[in-house]
Amino acid sequence: MVHPVKPSASVTIRDVAGRAGVSAGTVSRALNGVGGLSAALRDRVQRAADELGYDRASLRLAARPRVSLADIAAREGVSVGSVSRALRSVGGVSPETRERVLRAAEELGYDLGNLHPAPITRLGVLIHRGDNALSNNLFYSAVLHGAEIACRTHKLAMTYTTAGPGDDLSALVVEQQIDGLLCVGYFEDELLSDLRATGKPLVLVDHFAPGLPSVNSDNFGGAYAATAHLLKLGRTRVAFLSGQREHYSIAERRRGYQAALADAGVTYEPELDVTRQPPELESGTGAAMQALLALPQPPNAVFAFNDATAALAMAACQEAGLNVPRDVSFAGFDDVQTAAHFRPPLTTVRVDREALGARGLELLMSVQEGAAAQMVPTRLIVRESSVGAAPGPTLTARTTPAPRRRRVEST
């Protein structure tokens, strides 16, 4: 149970909005008892206000005569247009003016719910700086392309940028005149909080956070299907080779892997569930695969969390003198364009990456308050990396160093 803290005049409606993940206007309507909100949303706002110690005595301002944009403009000596732009967090006003206007609006008791939602005319696609270099990331390149096609349908302008911890996202939104955000891939909680504080509608793609709308592929179901496929081939020691486990999609794929083992009556072995080091870089894949091969009972199948990792792991096995798939079967995830041309062609889980981007934009255009979650189906694509030979014998531990790993192009 969360106990309310002592009311504090320093806590503002915007603080409550950031905590609850809603607009300041919604907070005003919820705390003033105005209709048009769901009971769940009203409870979320009230809980956030209690947790922060918001002084509800300030709500008496709502009983005063209705405050207009002109009132705020007259108080601060600016135009009504400047007030409107400041309250909507769009370009055309300085940060200092925006702060003055927001402070005046609060002090006068202006109900931000009176502002009609601004139409989305410019979409901002945001990708974490750690996932940058789209030329080397075929997954996110396709998501971006899907969003771009959807923007053309809706006659929207689109801008693409990257962000990381410490960036001034509110300033970025204003500078690029962004009306709505499509946030693609993993974002830390700190960044998500900053994104919510911009006041702009946003949708997560290939990520999930409570209280925010999102679109994801069926990571669990796809991973389950890939692992079950390897087990049906008679491979009883199936390893999972992963990257950043805090990433929602990777965590779901790991969960699907473990569920398939359990349903097949195969004991989960932690030594076969490995993460490359460092997790965010593909360069650690070869060493992770070599460590698996050095086990007293090495794996005879590997499910890699994405196709690029599968390609590098297959290369490590081949350099160690093993045959894929006779000695070790492989499956990946994503079905990037080059997966069918790996040596051997890769069994993988196909993700409709363009649909992720397009559906993210559609959800952004339709979502109001509250959260919605959508899932894009996946499909197992069987190729030569997993089939073509009967399961080989259990591998013996290797005591000699593996040959130097050659570089594999997976883009």
Report in angstroms the alpha-carbon separations of 73 from 61, 80, 102, 105: 18, 5, 11, 10
**Strand runs (DSSP E) across 206-289, as ranges?**
214-217, 238-242, 273-275
Of the chain, the end-to-end C-alpha distance in Å amounts to 50
* Whole-number pLDDT of residue 392: 40
Identity of the residue numbered 13: I
- Say how far apart CA 149 and CA 223 lie, in whole Å: 28
| Residues β-bridged to residue 8 | 54
Q: Same topology for domains 122-215+355-371 and 219-353, yes or no?
A: yes
Check pLDDT > 50 for residue 397: no
pLDDT band at residue 92, thresholds of 50, 70 and 90? low
pLDDT band at residue 367, thresholds of 50, 70 and 90? low
Q: How many CA atoms lie within 13 A of 263 on its CB side?
A: 13
* Helices within 2-137 (DSSP H only): 13-20, 24-31, 39-52, 69-76, 80-88, 95-108
- pLDDT, one tens digit per residue, over 37-57 is 677 778 888 888 888 888 766
Give the residue-averaged pLDDT of 313-327. 97
- Say how far apart CA 228 and CA 232 lie, in whole Å: 6
pTM: 0.68
Whether the Cβ atoms of residue 191 and residue 216 lie closer than 8 Å to each other: no
Q: Are strands 348-351 and 378-381 parallel, antiparallel or unpaired?
A: antiparallel
Cα 125 to chain centroid distance, Å, stands at 12
Give the residue-averaged pLDDT of 356-365. 93
Number of CB atoms found within 10 A of residue 351's CB? 28
Query: Which CATH number does 122-215+355-371 carry?
Result: 3.40.50.2300
- Say how far apart CA 209 and CA 189 lie, in whole Å: 9
- Say how far apart CA 308 and CA 86 lie, in whole Å: 45
Whether the Cβ atoms of residue 398 and residue 293 lie closer than 8 Å to each other: yes
* Whole-number pLDDT of residue 371: 58
Q: Where does residue 40 fall: left (phi above 0), alpha (psi -120 to 50 degrees), or beta otherwise?
A: alpha
Domain parsing of the chain, residue ranges = 13-114, 122-215+355-371, 219-353
Is the pLDDT higher at 409 or at 47?
47
- Say how far apart CA 10 and CA 8 lie, in whole Å: 5
- Say how far apart CA 344 and CA 158 lie, in whole Å: 38
Q: Which residues contact 310 (CB under 8 A, 6 or more apart)?
A: 241, 302, 304, 330, 331, 332, 333, 342, 346, 348, 385
pLDDT band at residue 90, thresholds of 50, 70 and 90? low
Does domain 219-353 sit in CATH 3.50.50.60? no
SS3 347: strand
What tokens does 246 get?
A: 């805090």
Check pLDDT > 50 for residue 31: yes
Residue whose structure tokens are 């050659």: 406
- Say how far apart CA 122 and CA 180 lie, in whole Å: 7
Most confident of 105-109, 164-168, 242-246: 242-246
Listing DSSP states for 130-187 in one string gives GG--GGG-HHHHHHHHHHHHHHHHHT-EEEEEEE-TT--HHHHHHHTT-SEEEEES--
